[in-house]
Structure 1
Amino acid sequence: MSKTIFITGASKGFGKIWAKALLEQGNKVAATARNLAALKDLTGAYGNSVLPIELDVNDHDACFAAVKQAKEHFGSIDVLINNAGYGLFGTIEETTEQEARDQIETNVFGLLWVTQAIIPIMREQGYGHIIQVSSVLGVVSPPVLGLYNASKFAVEAISESLSAEVKGFGINVTIIEPNTFGTDWSGASAVHTKANPVYDELKKAFFGSLTEDAIGIPEATREAILKLIDSKNPPLRLTLGKVAYPWIKQVYEQRLATWEEWKDVSAKAHGK
């Protein structure tokens, strides 16, 4: 059955790949991008099945207007894929105030505004599926990407609360947690802090640990997304790639061991 999907950040990477996959399956897509020229290939190939919308998710009012436009054009919105965002590379000390604010503004508030805009539509319909693109770095937090990690931890928290708040309205929420893929996320789309040489060895070790085999092929995610959207009982969380789950499992085992080791101290702190 054909669905209508609203996708942010559809100009490249996962957003463009998933938009094409959904259109190939006969769905309708409201595709947003900061530059509409980046969507010409979609409109050229799929015609009226695509509604291109110019959108900077940092603009609160524009987010609400874009969602309204899509609803008025297609009549309904079955699925939201909040994909817009970028990576900020740099240590905590290196990160400027503006860089930190910009990262949170786009990755957290941009996602929040579009989510808030879509909820009343889906609530009125009595159904819907909100898909939030987080990251494995929204669950584990390695060095050199601290502010990006923080933005995705926030996405995880917002979306988990949201899932409980809207479940009674027939709205499902899924948090997607990809490991590293060969998209433009770490390339031209990324922002880098001004380097402090005292962290050169740390960065060398961190980036050197990322092997070619650990980087997923973006196009290989198409099947997972199509299956997720067609699922009658979608999961709250879905990792993408073969690295994410083992890494999360290892980190949580370490966390549980630490909490267990200090549980007596924790209990005594309760006071009664």
Structure 2
Amino acid sequence: MATVLITGTSSGIGLSTALELARAGHSVIATMRNPAASPELAEIAAREGLPLQVRTLDVDDDESVRACVAAVDGPIDVLVNNAGVECHGSIEEMPMDRIIGTMNTNYFGAVRCIKAVLPRMREARSGCIINISSVAGRISNPPLGAYAASKFALEAMSEALAGEVKPFNIRVAIVEPGIQDTKMARTIEHEVTSIYPQVVRFSGLFRAALANPVPPVVTAQVVRQIIESGTWQFRHTSGPDAAAFLAWRANMTDEQWIAWSAQDDESWYEQLERDFGMNARPQAPHAGVAAVEPAVGG
């Protein structure tokens, strides 16, 4: 059994992954920004007698990452970089601090954790790093430009890292979930006011997808399979829609993809329904609501 450090375990994919691995007998160090504010995981672990410890780790903070990793006795066999923030909105309208904050958590946060655990893995000549990306790590469209940028960066870094550390017998893998039933996805399904129509369109797409929700345990099971199988496969999709979305994008030229995002509302809704059978049209006249704050994982 492996010792696994997971970031962003307060809810969603992180919480499900921590439970999936601990129930399978792995020793789990489940980290989150504020454990006192999110007691659910610790309560479940205590009730079930799981080999799971909850510890404080803020991936945005160098010292928090260093201190948490330094306090772990013995090897860290697996690092699962899951902590992330959701960010949607047009590039023009989004405040710079949100764009920077998204990159800091989703990309630099993973880099901080990797740099903290790698010396130990390299000396042991063994280890596994799993980065939770998204189909948005390979597909970019409005209103997810800032979020996709952070996931594109994560995937680019991971690909380079995999080549660096393979000679030390350290595996690197990316998991790319589609739309799954998490707080982040539920945030996107709420409409916000914008001068750009794509913001409302995508709230409808997420609402339609979440009508038949895919639970985050689906991604947790993919993570477990990567750890236990010893596979060197680099990219792994998660959920029934992930491969379909990626194939859809691959069948379009860049210009066709941009034109799809830029077309008028009715044409966009018709194409989505024709290609995916999803009715993303607004359920009621859009009166406009205040923008929602980003959801935070961990």
**Fold-level similarity (TM above 0.5):** yes
1:243 corresponds in structure 2 to: 241
Which structure ranks higher in relative contact order (CA pairs < 8 Å, sequence separation ≥ 6)?
2
CA contact (8 A) 2:175 2:223 kept: no
- Bigger drift between 52-61 and 218-227 goes to 218-227
Structure 1 regions of 5+ residues with no counterpart?
259-272
Relative to structure 1, the CA distance from residue 257 to residue 96 in structure 2 (aligned partners, 3 Å threshold; closer, same or farther) is closer
Aligned partners of 1:94 and 1:193 also within 8 Å: no
Cα distance change on mapping 1:214 and 1:203 into 2, 3 Å: farther
**CA RMSD, 1 decimal:** 2.3
Select the residue among 192, 199, 204 that pairs with 1:203: 199
Structure 2 distance, partners of 1:152, 1:143, is: 14
Equivalent position of 2:272 in the other structure: none
> Within 2, Cα distance between the matches of 1:66 and 1:242?
35
| In structure 2, C-alpha distance between the alignment counterparts of 1:219 and 1:246, rounded to whole Å | 19
CA distance in 1, matches of 2:134, 2:222: 15
Change (3 A) 1:222 1:114: closer
Deviates more, 1:219-228 or 1:179-188: 219-228
Counterpart for residue 7 of structure 2: 8
Q: Which moved more, 1:221-230 or 1:61-70?
A: 221-230
| Secondary structure in structure 1 of the residue aligned to 2:20 | helix
Partner in structure 2 of residue 263 of structure 1 = none
Tell me, yes or no, if the aligned pair for 1:67 and 1:117 is still in contact at 8 Å.
Answer: yes
Q: CA deviation at 1:195?
A: 3.8
Q: Which runs of 5+ in 2 are unaligned?
A: 257-298
Identical amino acids, percent of aligned pairs: 36
When normalised by structure 1's length, the TM-score is 0.85
Structure 1 partner of 2:110: 111
In the aligned structure 2, how far is the partner of 1:207 from the partner of 1:219?
23
* Distance in 1, Cα, partners of 2:253 & 2:184: 28
- The answer to whether the 8 A contact 2:130-2:223 is kept is no
Q: Distance in 1 between matches of 2:213 and 2:44?
A: 26
What is the aligned partner in structure 2 of residue 154 from structure 1? 153
1:98-247 matched pairs, under 5 angstroms: 98-187=97-186, 195-196=193-194, 198-199=195-196, 201-210=197-206, 211-212=208-209, 215-247=213-245
Distance of 2:212 and 2:139 partners within structure 1: 16
CA distance in 2, matches of 1:194, 1:208: 11
TM-score by length of 2: 0.78
CA deviations on 1:244-263 (whole Å, 9 max, x unpaired) are: 112212322324898xxxxx
Question: How far apart are the structure 2 equivalents of 1:193 and 1:123?
Answer: 46
Local SS of the residue matching 1:249: helix
